[in-house]
Amino acid sequence: MSVKTANVRTDRTLSEQSPLGAHAPRTQRMGESLAFNDELHLQAHRWLVDESYLLDAQDYEAWLSTIASDIHYLMPVRVTTALGAGYTTAPGMAHLDENMYSLSRRVARFATEHAWTEDPPSRLRHYITNVRTFRTKNPDEIVVDSAVLLFRSRGDINEAATISASREDLLRRTPTGWELARRTIMVDESVIRMQNLAIFL
Protein backbone atom coordinates (compact mmCIF):
# COMPACT_ATOMS: atom_id res chain seq x y z
CA MET A 1 0.00 0.00 0.00
CA SER A 2 1.41 3.34 -0.96
CA VAL A 3 0.70 6.18 1.43
CA LYS A 4 2.42 8.71 -0.80
CA THR A 5 -0.36 9.05 -3.39
CA ALA A 6 -2.79 11.90 -2.93
CA ASN A 7 -4.08 14.66 -5.16
CA VAL A 8 -0.75 15.29 -6.89
CA ARG A 9 2.40 13.38 -7.63
CA THR A 10 4.55 14.05 -4.60
CA ASP A 11 7.09 12.59 -2.22
CA ARG A 12 5.12 13.88 0.75
CA THR A 13 3.25 11.23 2.74
CA LEU A 14 -0.46 11.57 3.43
CA SER A 15 0.38 12.41 7.04
CA GLU A 16 2.58 15.28 5.91
CA GLN A 17 -0.27 16.64 3.76
CA SER A 18 -2.69 16.66 6.70
CA PRO A 19 -2.86 19.62 9.13
CA LEU A 20 -3.24 17.21 12.06
CA GLY A 21 -0.40 15.04 10.77
CA ALA A 22 2.31 17.67 10.90
CA HIS A 23 3.62 16.19 14.15
CA ALA A 24 3.38 12.55 13.00
CA PRO A 25 6.49 10.33 12.88
CA ARG A 26 7.90 10.02 9.36
CA THR A 27 9.52 6.59 9.78
CA GLN A 28 9.15 4.49 6.63
CA ARG A 29 9.61 0.80 5.87
CA MET A 30 12.78 -0.59 4.36
CA GLY A 31 13.64 -3.86 2.68
CA GLU A 32 11.44 -6.90 2.16
CA SER A 33 8.74 -8.05 4.54
CA LEU A 34 9.89 -10.23 7.42
CA ALA A 35 9.40 -13.98 7.46
CA PHE A 36 6.18 -15.10 9.10
CA ASN A 37 8.13 -16.87 11.84
CA ASP A 38 10.27 -13.82 12.61
CA GLU A 39 9.88 -12.73 16.24
CA LEU A 40 9.09 -9.13 15.28
CA HIS A 41 6.38 -10.28 12.88
CA LEU A 42 4.87 -12.57 15.51
CA GLN A 43 4.80 -9.71 18.03
CA ALA A 44 3.21 -7.36 15.50
CA HIS A 45 0.58 -9.93 14.52
CA ARG A 46 -0.30 -10.57 18.15
CA TRP A 47 -0.57 -6.82 18.80
CA LEU A 48 -3.05 -6.42 15.94
CA VAL A 49 -5.17 -9.34 17.13
CA ASP A 50 -5.18 -8.10 20.72
CA GLU A 51 -6.17 -4.64 19.45
CA SER A 52 -9.06 -6.08 17.46
CA TYR A 53 -10.46 -7.68 20.60
CA LEU A 54 -10.31 -4.34 22.43
CA LEU A 55 -12.14 -2.64 19.54
CA ASP A 56 -14.75 -5.40 19.30
CA ALA A 57 -15.43 -5.05 23.03
CA GLN A 58 -15.46 -1.25 22.61
CA ASP A 59 -12.97 -0.98 25.46
CA TYR A 60 -11.73 2.31 24.10
CA GLU A 61 -10.04 3.50 27.28
CA ALA A 62 -7.80 0.42 27.17
CA TRP A 63 -7.29 0.96 23.45
CA LEU A 64 -6.10 4.54 24.03
CA SER A 65 -3.49 3.19 26.45
CA THR A 66 -1.91 1.31 23.51
CA ILE A 67 -1.55 4.48 21.40
CA ALA A 68 1.46 6.81 21.27
CA SER A 69 1.05 10.45 22.24
CA ASP A 70 2.13 11.56 18.73
CA ILE A 71 -0.37 9.29 16.94
CA HIS A 72 -1.74 10.25 13.55
CA TYR A 73 -4.87 8.27 12.64
CA LEU A 74 -5.95 8.91 9.06
CA MET A 75 -8.65 7.54 6.75
CA PRO A 76 -8.52 9.49 3.46
CA VAL A 77 -11.50 9.74 1.11
CA ARG A 78 -10.90 7.41 -1.84
CA VAL A 79 -11.67 8.46 -5.40
CA THR A 80 -11.88 6.52 -8.64
CA THR A 81 -9.41 7.79 -11.21
CA ALA A 82 -8.06 6.78 -14.58
CA LEU A 83 -5.12 4.42 -14.77
CA GLY A 84 -1.91 6.38 -14.38
CA ALA A 85 -3.54 9.44 -12.79
CA GLY A 86 -1.08 9.19 -9.91
CA TYR A 87 -3.54 9.64 -7.06
CA THR A 88 -6.36 7.67 -5.39
CA THR A 89 -7.51 10.00 -2.60
CA ALA A 90 -9.41 13.30 -2.60
CA PRO A 91 -7.20 16.30 -1.89
CA GLY A 92 -7.54 17.58 1.66
CA MET A 93 -10.44 15.27 2.49
CA ALA A 94 -10.62 12.46 5.05
CA HIS A 95 -13.30 10.45 6.81
CA LEU A 96 -11.08 10.43 9.90
CA ASP A 97 -8.08 12.68 10.54
CA GLU A 98 -7.17 12.41 14.21
CA ASN A 99 -4.44 13.02 16.75
CA MET A 100 -4.34 11.87 20.37
CA TYR A 101 -6.43 14.80 21.60
CA SER A 102 -9.23 14.28 19.08
CA LEU A 103 -9.23 10.49 19.59
CA SER A 104 -9.47 10.93 23.37
CA ARG A 105 -12.35 13.40 22.94
CA ARG A 106 -14.20 10.93 20.72
CA VAL A 107 -13.72 8.22 23.33
CA ALA A 108 -14.83 10.52 26.17
CA ARG A 109 -18.02 11.33 24.26
CA PHE A 110 -19.02 7.66 24.21
CA ALA A 111 -19.46 7.85 27.99
CA THR A 112 -21.95 10.73 27.76
CA GLU A 113 -25.66 10.84 27.01
CA HIS A 114 -24.87 12.56 23.71
CA ALA A 115 -23.37 9.45 22.08
CA TRP A 116 -26.71 8.47 20.57
CA THR A 117 -25.08 6.85 17.53
CA GLU A 118 -23.74 4.12 19.83
CA ASP A 119 -26.63 3.79 22.31
CA PRO A 120 -27.37 0.94 22.24
CA PRO A 121 -23.84 0.00 21.18
CA SER A 122 -23.09 -1.69 17.90
CA ARG A 123 -22.02 -5.31 17.70
CA LEU A 124 -18.59 -5.31 16.09
CA ARG A 125 -16.20 -7.88 14.69
CA HIS A 126 -12.80 -6.97 13.23
CA TYR A 127 -11.25 -9.61 10.98
CA ILE A 128 -7.50 -9.05 10.53
CA THR A 129 -5.51 -10.80 7.81
CA ASN A 130 -2.70 -10.44 5.22
CA VAL A 131 -0.28 -9.14 7.85
CA ARG A 132 3.20 -8.12 6.66
CA THR A 133 5.90 -6.60 8.85
CA PHE A 134 8.84 -4.42 7.77
CA ARG A 135 11.90 -3.16 9.58
CA THR A 136 12.71 0.55 9.60
CA LYS A 137 15.88 2.57 10.24
CA ASN A 138 14.73 2.83 13.87
CA PRO A 139 15.22 -0.55 15.60
CA ASP A 140 12.32 0.25 17.94
CA GLU A 141 9.81 1.01 15.16
CA ILE A 142 8.26 -1.34 12.61
CA VAL A 143 5.78 -0.82 9.79
CA VAL A 144 2.92 -3.31 9.62
CA ASP A 145 0.53 -3.82 6.70
CA SER A 146 -2.77 -5.59 7.27
CA ALA A 147 -6.20 -6.05 5.76
CA VAL A 148 -9.25 -5.46 7.94
CA LEU A 149 -12.88 -6.40 7.42
CA LEU A 150 -15.26 -4.81 9.91
CA PHE A 151 -18.72 -6.32 10.46
CA ARG A 152 -21.13 -4.02 12.29
CA SER A 153 -24.68 -4.74 13.41
CA ARG A 154 -26.96 -2.21 15.10
CA GLY A 155 -30.34 -2.90 16.66
CA ASP A 156 -32.58 -5.83 15.76
CA ILE A 157 -33.96 -4.90 12.34
CA ASN A 158 -31.31 -2.77 10.63
CA GLU A 159 -29.20 -4.45 8.00
CA ALA A 160 -25.63 -5.18 9.02
CA ALA A 161 -22.83 -3.21 7.35
CA THR A 162 -19.23 -4.03 6.46
CA ILE A 163 -16.11 -2.05 5.64
CA SER A 164 -13.11 -3.53 3.87
CA ALA A 165 -9.79 -1.70 4.05
CA SER A 166 -6.04 -1.95 4.11
CA ARG A 167 -4.03 -0.41 6.93
CA GLU A 168 -0.44 0.71 7.25
CA ASP A 169 0.61 1.00 10.90
CA LEU A 170 3.74 2.26 12.55
CA LEU A 171 4.32 0.38 15.81
CA ARG A 172 6.83 1.67 18.36
CA ARG A 173 8.45 -0.44 21.07
CA THR A 174 8.28 1.06 24.57
CA PRO A 175 9.24 -0.29 28.02
CA THR A 176 5.63 -1.39 28.49
CA GLY A 177 5.09 -2.90 25.04
CA TRP A 178 4.25 -1.82 21.50
CA GLU A 179 2.31 1.38 20.80
CA LEU A 180 0.51 2.54 17.67
CA ALA A 181 2.28 5.69 16.43
CA ARG A 182 0.64 6.09 13.00
CA ARG A 183 -2.23 4.46 11.12
CA THR A 184 -3.30 5.09 7.53
CA ILE A 185 -6.53 3.36 6.51
CA MET A 186 -7.34 2.98 2.81
CA VAL A 187 -10.95 1.86 2.43
CA ASP A 188 -11.87 -0.18 -0.62
CA GLU A 189 -14.92 1.91 -1.52
CA SER A 190 -15.19 5.52 -2.60
CA VAL A 191 -18.61 5.77 -0.93
CA ILE A 192 -18.90 4.25 2.55
CA ARG A 193 -22.33 2.68 3.01
CA MET A 194 -22.22 2.56 6.79
CA GLN A 195 -24.64 4.97 8.53
CA ASN A 196 -21.88 6.65 10.55
CA LEU A 197 -18.27 6.19 11.57
CA ALA A 198 -18.69 6.24 15.33
CA ILE A 199 -16.26 3.32 15.49
CA PHE A 200 -12.54 2.73 14.93
CA LEU A 201 -10.87 0.57 12.28
- For 136-190, how does the pLDDT look when each residue is reduced to its tens digit (9 = 90+)? 999 999 999 999 999 998 777 678 889 999 999 999 999 999 999 999 999 998 8
Instruction: Count other Cβ atoms within 10 Å, centred on residue 61.
Output: 13
**Full-model pTM:** 0.86
Reference 128, options 165, 178, 181, 180; nearest CA is 165
Phi then psi dihedrals of residue 35, to 5 deg: -60, 150
Is 1.10.3470.10 the CATH classification of the domain at 14-187?
no
